């Protein structure tokens, strides 16, 4: 619209000028070199306009003739560039559809037309990767590193190829180079951080984490969590050599992530060993409110190892009241009640645990209670047998690996903070032969588990075999001194008497180990002079 108005304005100006000249006639005389020209002013003005127009046209024609070779070369260059980018587009489509042959052909065409353009190198690398030509892909990525614009991309490609062939040293060197050249590149800093964590280079990982945070490549919550895990790992490794420094690091980790149980456990344990029970208890109480854990309860109850068992029970009940019906609080009360010989409190806590979820630890505690309070070996063994089929308790799980102790990194991938406190997947638990026996045995015969004989401290029970529908208890391989179950107890526990007549020789049933629950004191429960039977001494290291 503006151009139209401008054009109309110019036409109006020229028209006004022409009319103005016509309205003012006059004569123009030119006398030059014997020639005399007489004309009107209007004709002279028209003649001057025509000459100027011809001059402009002639100038443009001359300029086009002089610039012809350069223009022709530019035309050819633009045409090759257009054809090259068309080849790149077709090659990218071929890579996306998995057509390795077409992708390689288009990559060669694009490289012929465009040379070492960044996009041609990228297409060549992708085509080589698609066809399985690792050396060709590496050559393309190495060519990218020669140009500043594509250096980061080339290092990234070489890093991926090094990881594919399992060359961790080369991959780490490439990540370090990329992180040094481009600190703001996310993949380089993260890859270097992962390598340092897998190698347990906690100090180097902390430095890399600081660079990632400074470049805003991590959100604040993630950075705080990672720093807490690294500080906990440093404190764990240096606890024996420099306890004050380990306490400082563990407390800093606790302040960064109050719900991170391993940091709180380590800090509280070290403070308790230094005699600062008040600070240790405060740390446990803070984390217990966010993430109850059995090792937190262990440290809290034994924060003063020399206290009487009744005081420890009081602390356990105080901690349990802070978490309500959380199973970990009830477990702490049950263990402390057994240690203090307050069987009513222990039984009440265990009954509540069984009502919530009868897990392995709950069954083991009930077995211990029956044996310590009533001396009923039959009932104790029955609960031990139930523990074989009971749901498992929470453990530290990372990448399919379950562990009773926490570790900073995954044992499979080396990833930091991979362990999570949760219930393991029940389907992954191998089915024991004991489970098959219980599946085949009639309901009225399952109480014969009360007649199980012990083998040794590590494998405390042995399952009976079924011969023609009758239970036969195999002889223990290595019996220990213990009171055998009386036949009367077996008959009383069973719904119907079970025949125990001699049977033909059969292969001895396999011995199935019963994993000792975390609260089972084991055969040496009275190591400490101030520890009553059934009570555990304060552990040297936390069970995380």
User: Alpha-carbon distance 308 to 305, whole Å?
Assistant: 8
Please write the tens of the pLDDT for every residue from 233-263: 999 999 999 999 999 999 999 999 999 999 9
Q: Which one has a higher pLDDT value, 478 or 312?
A: 312
Name the DSSP class of 409.
B
pLDDT at residue 366 is higher than 90? yes
Whether residues 158 and 9 fall in one domain: no
- pLDDT tens by residue, 282-305: 999 999 999 999 999 999 999 998
Placement of tokens 């970990």 in the chain: 328
CA distance 334 to 322: 16
**Which of 425, 452, 477 is the endpoint of a domain?**
425
In a domain, 65, yes or no: no
Domain-embedded: residue 511: no
In this predicted structure, the answer to whether residue 434 has a pLDDT above a threshold of 50 is no
Looking at residue 502, its pLDDT comes to: 39
Q: What pLDDT score was predicted for residue 454?
A: 38
- 101-110, 135-144, 240-249: which is most confident: 240-249
Contact criterion met (CB below 8 Å) for 185 and 153: no
Q: Are 437 and 474 part of one and the same domain?
A: yes
- Do 182 and 237 belong together in one domain? no
Residues 406, 448 within the same domain: no
Q: Which residue has the higher pLDDT, 103 or 23?
A: 103
Is residue 362 situated within a structural domain?
Answer: yes
pLDDT at residue 242, rounded to an integer? 93
**Averaged over 333-361, what is the pLDDT?**
93
**CB-based contact 41:24 (threshold 8 Å):** yes
Higher-confidence residue: 22 or 298? 298
Q: Are residues 36 and 131 in the same domain?
A: no
How many structural domains compose the chain? 4
Least Cα distance to 410 among 198, 193, 169, 172 occurs for 198
Residue 507 lies in a domain: no
Question: Above 80 in pLDDT, residue 205?
Answer: yes
- Which spans in 325-445 are helix H? 327-339, 343-356, 360-369, 377-389, 433-440
Average predicted confidence (pLDDT) for the chain: 79
Q: Which residue has the higher pLDDT, 34 or 255?
A: 255
CA 117 – CA 366 distance, rounded (Å): 74
Helix (H, G, I), strand (E, B) or coil at 416: strand
pLDDT at residue number 414: 92
Return the pLDDT at 10: 85
Say what the pLDDT of residue 498 is. Answer: 36
Same-domain pairing of 264 and 280: yes
Chain segment 54-68, per-residue pLDDT in tens = 999 998 888 888 877
- Given a cut of 60, whether residue 122 has pLDDT beyond it is yes
CATH code of 82's domain: 1.25.40.10
Tokens describing residue 524 = 């040496």
Whether residue 419 is found in the same domain as residue 449: no
Q: Is the pLDDT of residue 319 over 50?
A: yes
CATH number at residue 348: 1.25.40
376 pLDDT exceeds 50? Answer: yes
* Same domain membership, residue 337 and residue 386: yes
Strand order in the sheet with 401-403: 401-403, 395-398, 420-422
Beta strand 420-422 with 395-398 is: antiparallel
Residue that is last in its domain, among 425, 448, 469: 425
Evaluate if residue 194 carries a pLDDT over 90: yes
Q: Do residues 263 and 295 make contact, with C-beta atoms less than 8 angstroms apart?
A: no
Cβ contacts of 216 within 8 Å, gap of 6 or more: none
Domain final residue, candidates 425, 455, 481 = 425
Same domain, 398 and 443: no
Mean pLDDT throughout 376-395? 92
Please count the residues of the chain.
Answer: 544
Q: What is the mean pLDDT of residues 401-421?
A: 93
Residues 224, 133 share a domain: no
| pLDDT band, residue 38 (cuts 50/70/90) | confident
Residue 442's pLDDT band, with cuts at 50, 70 and 90, is very low
Angle at 471 between CA 466 and CA 473, to 5 degrees: 100
Question: Is the predicted pLDDT of residue 179 greater than 80, yes or no?
Answer: yes
List the one residue out of 338, 331, 367, 334 whose CA is nearest residue 460: 367
Domain match, 285 and 413 both: yes
443 pLDDT tier (thresholds 50, 70, 90): very low
Q: How far is the C-alpha of 266 from the C-alpha of 170, rounded, in Å?
A: 36
* Percent of the chain scoring above 70 in pLDDT: 78
Question: Which residue segment(s) compose the domain that 12 sits in?
Answer: 2-47
* Tokens 């190829």 found at: 161
Is the confidence at residue 184, as pLDDT, over 70? Answer: yes
Is the CB of residue 120 less than 8 Å from the CB of residue 114? yes
Is 206 within a domain?
Answer: no
pLDDT at 113 over 50: yes
Is residue 500 one of the residues assigned to a domain?
no
Sequence-distant (6+) residues with CB within 8 A of 94 are: 100, 102, 103, 106, 127
Residue 450 pLDDT level (bands cut at 50, 70, 90)? very low
One domain for residues 356 and 484 = no
Q: pLDDT tens for residues 480-508?
A: 333 333 333 333 333 333 333 333 343 33
* Average pLDDT estimate for 332-354: 94
More confident residue, 217 or 440: 217
Nearest to 363 by CA among 345, 337, 377, 382: 382
Residue 279 in contact with residue 307, Cβ under 8 Å? no
């Amino acid at each position: 619209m503006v151009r139209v108005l401008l054009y109309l304005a110019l036409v109006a100006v020229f028209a006004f000028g022409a009319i103005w000249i016509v309205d003012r006639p006059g004569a123009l005389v030119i006398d030059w070199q014997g020639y005399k020209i007489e004309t009107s002013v209007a004709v002279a003005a028209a003649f001057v306009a025509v000459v100027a127009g011809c001059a402009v046209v002639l100038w443009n024609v001359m300029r086009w003739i002089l610039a012809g070779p350069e223009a022709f070369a530019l035309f050819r260059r633009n045409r090759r560039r257009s054809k090259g980018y068309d080849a790149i587009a077709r090659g990218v489509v071929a890579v996306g559809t998995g057509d390795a042959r077409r992708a390689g052909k288009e990559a060669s065409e694009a490289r012929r037309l465009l040379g070492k353009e960044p996009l041609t190198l990228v297409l060549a690398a992708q085509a080589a990767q698609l066809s399985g030509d690792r050396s060709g892909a590496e050559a393309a990525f190495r060519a990218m590193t020669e140009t500043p614009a594509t250096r980061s991309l080339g290092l990234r490609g070489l890093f991926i190829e090094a990881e594919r062939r399992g060359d961790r040293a080369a991959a780490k060197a490439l990540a370090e180079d990329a992180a040094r050249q481009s600190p703001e590149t996310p993949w380089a800093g993260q890859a270097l951080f992962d390598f340092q964590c897998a190698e347990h280079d906690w100090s180097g990982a902390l430095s890399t984490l600081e660079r990632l945070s400074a470049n805003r490549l991590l959100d604040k919550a993630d950075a705080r969590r990672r720093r807490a895990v690294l500080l906990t790992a440093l404190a764990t490794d240096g606890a024996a050599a420099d306890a004050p420094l380990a306490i400082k690091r563990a407390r800093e980790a606790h302040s960064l992530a109050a719900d991170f149980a391993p940091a709180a456990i380590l800090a509280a344990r070290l403070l308790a060993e230094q005699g600062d029970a008040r600070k240790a208890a405060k740390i446990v109480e803070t984390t217990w409110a966010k993430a109850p854990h059995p090792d937190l309860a262990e440290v809290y109850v034994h924060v003063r190892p020399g206290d009487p068992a009744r005081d420890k029970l009081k602390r356990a009940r105080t901690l349990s009241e802070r978490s309500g019906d959380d199973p970990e609080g009830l477990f702490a009360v049950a263990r402390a009640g057994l240690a203090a010989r307050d069987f009513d409190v222990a039984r009440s806590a265990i009954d509540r645990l069984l009502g919530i979820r009868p897990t392995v630890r709950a069954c083991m505690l009930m077995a211990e209670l029956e044996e310590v309070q009533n001396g009923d070996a039959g009932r104790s063994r029955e609960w031990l047998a139930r523990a074989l089929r009971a749901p498992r308790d929470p453990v530290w799980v990372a990448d399919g690996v379950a562990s009773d102790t926490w570790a900073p990194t995954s044992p499979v991938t080396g990833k930091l903070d991979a362990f999570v406190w949760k219930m393991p997947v029940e389907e992954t638990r191998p089915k024991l032969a004991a489970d098959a026996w219980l599946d085949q045995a009639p309901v009225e015969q399952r109480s014969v588990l009360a007649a199980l004989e012990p083998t040794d401290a590590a494998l405390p029970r042995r399952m009976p075999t079924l011969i023609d529908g009758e239970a036969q208890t195999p002889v223990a391989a290595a019996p220990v001194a213990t009171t055998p179950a009386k036949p009367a107890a077996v008959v009383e526990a069973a719904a119907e008497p079970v025949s125990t007549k001699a049977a033909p020789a059969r292969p001895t049933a396999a011995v199935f180990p019963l994993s000792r629950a975390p609260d089972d004191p084991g055969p040496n429960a009275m190591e400490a002079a101030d520890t009553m039977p059934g009570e555990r001494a304060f552990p040297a290291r936390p069970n995380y």
